[in-house]
Chain A
Amino acid sequence: MIEIENLSKRFTLHNQGAAVIEVMTGAQLRVARGECVALTGQSGAGKSTLMRMIYGNYLAAGGSIRVGGLDVTRATPREVIALRRETLGYVSQFLRVVPRVPTRAVVAEPLLALGHAPGAAFARAEALLAQLNIPERLWGLSPTTFSGGEQQRVNIARGFAHGYPALLLDEPTASLDALNREVVLSLIEEAKARGAAIIGIFHDEAARARVADREIDVTGFTPRKAA
């Protein structure tokens, strides 16, 4: 479902003496349907960078990233937008929403964007919010004022509202209590069971051991420093 070949990434900082920073080279990765692959490596090794490249948020310097047949590195913005709407979900560590939009609408939005009827979309959103233990009295409020843990659960609900065939999860269990961590892990297991290909970053080792089928250490993709 996700096939990464010989991927490289560099940042050119034009306003800092045109410094060129090579951050990744020769990255290879394949994730099949129903499989969860955990990215490992120290902080700064490039886990989030790789994830952002798969999502089309960062441009690749070379190589290819195929998600459901579309090469994200060569796709037009319009194709990437369609991929993100239909095929590729991303639960980031940050919730970025229009202020004042109620939580249930934030969670239902991916379904509405796919043309689902509002009734069904909101019902699905509310079921997920309940499952993730967001109190019902908060559903009509904007999540911008919520605690970090609540925002993260809203983000997860939004990411799991549509059954994406491919999912990127950046620290989905960080800052969650045991109860909600369990809910998130079971959501991940359900997604795998329905055939989703998942790439995750989990600092929580027990969580990683439970849901990940394989680990890839991205340190192997870090360019060797010139002598």
Chain B
Amino acid sequence: MMERALSILSKEKPQDGPLLQVEGLTKFYGARIGCADVSFDLWPGEVLGIVGESGSGKSTLLSCLAGHLSPDRGRVIYAGRDTVSMAEPERRMLGRTDWAFVHQNPRDGLRMGVSAGGNVGERLMAVGARNYGAIREAASDWLGRVEISPGRIDDRPRQFSGGMQQRLQIARNLVTGPKLVFMDEPTGGLDVSVQARLLDLLRGLVRDMGLAVIIVTHDLAVARLLAHRLMVMKDGRVIEAGLTDQVLDDPQAAYTQLLVSSVLQV
């Protein structure tokens, strides 16, 4: 069970105030804008959806937030510490403990030559878990949660379908009970039914663990069911932000109106 998996880790008491504060975040690719002047606060337990078309800058923004790209301007304050100016080892430590990143392509987030159980267990070992039995039990439990038969614990990800690989990646990321999860189109490769199960799973985790999530998606139906708040991006800039159902049901900006009206009923 989750409680058991978590007992391996040290828990800190939840802090008051935003978990993440982003101010004026800007990234250029040469003269071209990747993302510009993005500011927002994220609190524990909040799911922020970033929506927009391909090339709108949403993935660039996510990479800057998660420390995979260094922004040209702006600040990203996590639990009171500026992650833009902090030393690389410190940032990498955050990536192993407090943060998780679910990639669009599971091959970017998994070790393809390591067993499914190993992929999940490795994250636990990276934060200090050493008891083999407990690690394997946690791995097996998480495989079940993402609907991978525990009987496949010793199979390698390359023997899995694309959808199963993505579910494994999510298990690998969530097993350590991170506080902040970055997700880049996480449900893109999944069957609709598995997508639904994962949406439910994620909602439960957000509620029970006070997890904060930043999810980049072009799927407005996923955004509606998962995100509390939305930011709509176009050409690297946030053109509208607000409560998810308000942005989708009463969009103010011309672009958001076009985006929402282009989709079959969500």
Q: Which residues of A line the B interface, CB within 8 A?
A: 11-15, 52, 56-59, 77-78, 80-81, 96, 98-101, 112-113
Contact = CB atoms under 8 A, between A and B. Distances in A.
A56 B228 CA distance: 13
A59 B247 CA distance: 9
B77 to A, nearest CB: 17
B253 A14 contact: yes
B207 interface: yes
Closest 5 CB pairs of A and B: A14-B254, A99-B196, A77-B243, A58-B250, A100-B196
B53 interface: no
Contacts of A14: 253-254, 257-258
Given A15-B257, A58-B249, A100 B228 contact: no
Interface string B186-206: 000000110011011001000
Nearest to A75: B243
Contacts of B200: 98, 100-101
Given A56-B243, A96-B225, A112-B207, 5 more contacts: A57-B243, A57-B245, A77-B228, A98-B200, A101-B200
28 contacts: A11-B250, A13-B257, A14-B253, A14-B254, A14-B257, A15-B257, A15-B261, A56-B243, A57-B246, A57-B249, A57-B250, A59-B246, A59-B252, A77-B242, A77-B243, A77-B246, A78-B43, A78-B46, A78-B229, A80-B243, A81-B228, A98-B196, A98-B199, A98-B203, A99-B192, A99-B193, A100-B196, A101-B196
A183 to B, nearest CB: 28
Contacts of A59: 242, 246, 250, 252
A62 to B, nearest CB: 14
Given A14-B253, A100-B193, A100-B196, A58 B203 contact: no
Contacts of B245: 57
Contacts of B225: 96, 98
Contacts of A15: 254, 257-258, 261
B33 to A, nearest CB: 23
A59 B253 CA distance: 13
B193 A56 contact: no
A184 B137 CA distance: 47
Interface in B27-70: 43, 46
A50 B65 CA distance: 38
Contacts of A78: 43, 46, 229
B246 A58 contact: yes
B207 A56 contact: no
A77 B246 CA distance: 9
B7 to A, nearest CB: 19
B2 to A, nearest CB: 13
